Structure 1
Amino acid sequence: MTISVLVLLLITACWQDYCGYHIRNALVLSGTLLGFLLNFFLTLEVGIADSLIGCVIGLLLLLPFYMSRMMGAGDVKLMAMVGAFVGSNDIVSVFLSTLIVGGLLALVVSWRQGFLRRLMDNFIFMFLSALSVNKFKSLNNNLSVSEETPNSTGKLPYGIAIAVGTITSLAINHSTLMID
């Protein structure tokens, strides 16, 4: 039942994010509270303490992306809500699945909107910046970016990536448990 409620909340978040690039606070706050309550009263594998820890970890995993303006606060709060449902044991695998799905989603959206080249240039720019751009001046001159912050390739409804990453991770984790 807990997973079913989580999936319904994630579908609602996807719809909100897709329609307006905004996930409502009422959804994530009530969903987080519901995750705590369901884990306190119904589940044996995730208790209230694990639910609280999962929520905090979920928040902390996406917080750097929000602070660097790569994603909105609603996405961070949504991942915290997911952590309240799945607990500390599953939130890291959910996060990793979400990153993979988010990367694929970014590629598809950029391709459809004609920004794939800019997305690739921005990725290379960030990679080279991390390694020190000054050492790679010759490579940097061949890109369509400068040493200034690259232009955005547009908005991405990352709530969709969180939902698909969560459902995929939980499906893989639960099917593995069934096989064992």
Structure 2
Amino acid sequence: MMLCLLLGAAVWHDVKARRIPNAVVFPGMLAAFVLHAALPAGPGLFGTPMGGLGLLSSLGGFGLGLAILLPMYALRLMGAGDVKLLAMVGAFVGAGQIITVGLVTLVAGGVLALVFAAWQGSLRRLVINTYHMALHTTFSALAGVIATPTVPPEAASGRLPYAIAIAVATVGCVLWLRVHGELPL
């Protein structure tokens, strides 16, 4: 329940102001660390019966959640709030589940980008940009060169409220955990 409230607050802020405040993310991280450290050992906060995974697993989930989106932040494709939000989710779900949650988040983010681009009437531009980036990457790889395009592609989808993708993926994975006990992968 706490994770859903934090995700809801993050989505609200991201949709409203296109930023996720630290006042939402940092208390969530701390709460996840405390819960996993203080609760008796068990299958996790979303398992039955509820139990802590331990502080190390929570810290590992935090670190892996950070690592999943950090490259996109470094390339300026994503904001720092999105990266911190997935790290917070990692602190809740633990090291064993955050990779799956992260992969589902990336798929949900791709779908969100397509929907957002279609809504703005720029889906064609998004497809053309993707084609050119894939073509450039392929030729660079074949030439054995790591090169970046000299002209950045035209913006196709604007700034996405990526907290939506993180929240949808997280809630979906947590529901899967409640029903099946563990995530596939």
TM-score by length of 2: 0.84
Query: 1:120-155 CA distances to partner (integer Å, 9 max, x unpaired)?
Result: 1111122112211698xxxxxxxxxx9621012211
Name which of 76, 98, 108 aligns with 1:101.
108
> In 2, Cα distance between the equivalents of 1:147 and 1:125?
12
Partner of 1:11: 8
Query: 1:142-180 CA distances to partner (integer Å, 9 max, x unpaired)?
Result: xxxx962101221100011000011112222332229xx
Name which of 150, 160, 172 aligns with 1:168.
172
Partner of 1:121: 128
Structure 2 unaligned regions, length at least 5: 44-52, 143-148
Sequence identity percentage: 45
The one-letter code sitting in structure 2 at the alignment partner of 1:166 is T
Name which of 72, 76, 79 aligns with 1:69.
76
Partner of 1:54: 61
Name which of 144, 160, 183 aligns with 1:156.
160
The one-letter code sitting in structure 1 at the alignment partner of 2:87 is A
Structure 1 unaligned regions, length at least 5: 136-145
Partner of 1:35: 32
> In 2, Cα distance between the equivalents of 1:167 and 1:117?
31
The one-letter code sitting in structure 2 at the alignment partner of 1:6 is L
1:22 partner SS: coil
The one-letter code sitting in structure 2 at the alignment partner of 1:23 is I
Q: Higher helix share goes to which structure?
A: 1
> In 2, Cα distance between the equivalents of 1:120 and 1:175?
37
Superposition RMSD in Å: 1.8
Aligned residue pairs total 165
